[in-house]
Structure 1
Amino acid sequence: MPLSAASEPAAFVRLAAHPLRWAVLTELARSDLRVRELVARTRQPQNLVSYHLRLLRAAGLVDARRSNADARDSYYHLDLDSCADAIRSSAFAIHPALLGSRTGSSDHPRLPRLDVLVACTGNSAQSPIAAALLRHRSNHGLDVVSAGSHPKPRLHPLAVRALHEQYGIDVADQRPRDLDTLAGHRFDYVITVCDKVREVCPDFGGSSEYVHWSVPDPCAAPAGHQPEYSDFVRTAADIDRRVRHLLATFTPKEALP
């Protein structure tokens, strides 16, 4: 049964306190990963990792979906909103004051100037949506470009519409870009937003931090069907949640050495 605000708060604490489950949560907080990657990073047997993944999925903290690069694989994704709800419930159960902020908050925190690349296959939907939302949510505090391994001639019109209608962002004049044109560039973050491009994304140097978001392609529709606007709205909402959580990890300028 998924954890919720109505659940026993201690249930989340007990679940997350296990060393291996904590390690899995920590790894998935950074990037969507496959089981074999979690096995390598935690240095634990696959059957043990799979067992604890099942517990985290049953609690509604982790979900999985088939890779669009290889259907035999699945990517696991941490639902950070569900984690936040469970943590807030646990804190409130101890004392309501624990939910208060000690430092205050800002809608547009001052971010370090970072160079970010967002990549997908066609650069017509997921990656331009992610790049636009990164600029928007950071108040244009990041230098963000998007590109594709096999770029389409233009952005998908439903992606353009979803960004405009849901977030007030205009990308109508933007054109897809080829990943090859960025060879030799340095990026602080390289974010892949489709499984296929993760397998072929160039290496931009050891200083780059690589993040993978396994986001379904809203342009893909069953044979004989056209993509629907609602698919692009859902994709944008999924990416927007990921963007907001990622931005929260960036160090404000005041804290930089």
Structure 2
Amino acid sequence: MKNILVLCTGNSCRSQLAEGYLRHFAGDKAVVYSAGIETHGVNPKAIQVMAEDGIDISRHTSNNVDEYLAIPFDYVITVCDNASENCPYFPGSVKRFHHNFPDPAKATGTAEQVMDEFRKVREMIKTYSKEFINQHLNTI
């Protein structure tokens, strides 16, 4: 069983989407956590777009990375440049990965245009998460 942490700035959108998909694709092969350098609460639009794809993240919480410093993570995935630059040190043989996804919470325009941006980022994170699990967990 592997421990995976997804880290973002506010633990409200991108890291929440990634946590949902990583859990989905990993099944019982990993325990997946998400956290932020700060905590901004889970964005309702993130919950909505995940529900559209059959993944329920409505019970996720927004957590600060400091809450997880004692957990022996195997993988830490940063999903924005700010989190990568401010990621704390995790002892042990942690493998770090980074992918800077656009922040859908910064989308502007009509309500539908904003939701389209959330869906676009959701699909990017879904693809990344599936590939990550296939590459790192389905080979063990």
Give the aligned partner of residue 57 of structure 2: 171
- Give the TM-score normalised by the residue count of structure 2: 0.90
Q: Distance in 2 between matches of 1:251 and 1:163?
A: 23
Match of 1:160 in 2: 47
Give the match for residue 9 of structure 2: 121
Partner of 1:187: 73
Amino acid at match of 1:138: A
**Residues 1:209 and 2:95 are matched in the alignment:** yes
Instruction: Measure, in 2, the Cα distance between the counterparts of 1:134 and 1:116.
Output: 9
Partners of 2:25 and 2:72 lie apart in 1 by: 22
Distance 1:231 1:248 in 2: 26
Q: More strand per residue: 1 or 2? A: 2
How far apart, CA to CA, are the structure 1 residues paired with 2:33 and 2:25? 15
The DSSP-based 3-state class of the residue aligned with 2:32 is strand
Tell me which amino acid in the other structure corresponds to 2:46.
A
Cα RMSD (Å):
1.9
Contact persistence 2:107–2:117 (CA under 8 A): no
Tell me the secondary structure at the aligned position of residue 33 of structure 2.
strand
Maintained 8 Å contact 2:8/2:37: yes
Deviation at residue 206 of structure 1 after TM alignment: 3.9
- Counterpart residue identity of residue 221, structure 1: A
Percent sequence identity is: 33
- Greater gyration radius: 1
Tell whether 2:136 aligns with 1:136: no
The partner residue of 1:220 within 106, 110, 113 is: 106
SS at match of 2:88: coil
Counterpart amino acid of 1:164?
Answer: A
Q: Give the counterpart letter for 2:19 in structure 1.
A: A
* Structure with more relative contact order (C-alpha pairs < 8 Å, separation 6 or more): 2
- Residue correspondence of structure 1 range 39-50 to structure 2 within 5 A: none
Q: Which residue of 2 aligns with 1:25?
A: none
Relative to structure 1, is the Cα distance of residues 165 and 186 closer, same or farther in structure 2, using a 3 angstrom cutoff? Answer: same
Contact in 1 for aligned 2:37/2:83 (Cα 8 Å) = yes
Matched ranges for 1:5-24 at <5 A: none
Answer yes or no: is 1:243 the counterpart of 2:110. no
The alpha carbon displacement at 1:173 in A equals 2.0
Deviation at residue 181 of structure 1 after TM alignment: 1.1
Runs of 4+ in 1 over 4 A off after TM superposition: 224-227
Per-residue deviation, 1:247: 1.4
SS of 1:191's partner is strand
Instruction: Report the Cα offset of residue 251 of structure 1.
Output: 5.0
Q: Aligned partners of 1:163, 1:220: CA distance in 2, in Å?
A: 18
Give per-residue Cα distances to partners, 1:99-138, cap 9 Å, x unaligned. xxxxxxxxxxxxxx11000010110000010011001112
Q: 1:165 to 1:225 in 2, by over 3 A?
A: closer
In structure 2, runs of 5+ residues without a counterpart are none
Q: Following TM superposition, by how much is the alpha carbon of 1:140 offset from its aligned partner in structure 2, in angstroms?
A: 4.0
Q: Which runs of 5+ in 1 are unaligned?
A: 1-112
